[in-house]
Amino acid sequence: MEKKMLVEGMMCNHCKASVEKVLNAVPGVSAAVVDLSAKTAVVTCEETVTDDALFAAVEKKGFKPVKML
């Protein structure tokens, strides 16, 4: 399944890579792709992965997950 989230606070490619890395580390996530200009992250994951788990991972890195799209 795919989930798309809006993430604020990313300013550069390093930020993009950090968000992708932390999302890919969430158990059940098979891929995470961040679009820096759109401020979105598309996560391919198992159905058991919760929005809260993805939000928590992003917040832990210091970015602000705004909402699921």
Q: pLDDT tens for residues 2-20?
A: 999 999 999 999 999 999 9
pLDDT of residue 65: 96
The residue to which tokens 């997950």 are assigned: 65
pLDDT of residue 30: 98
Among the four given CATH numbers 3.40.50.1220, 3.40.50.360, 3.40.50.300, 3.30.70.100, the one describing domain 2-68: 3.30.70.100
| Chunked mean pLDDT (size 10), the chain, 69 residues | 97 97 98 97 97 97 96
- Write out the two tokens for 27: 């158990």
Count of CB atoms situated within 10 Å of the CB of 9? 15
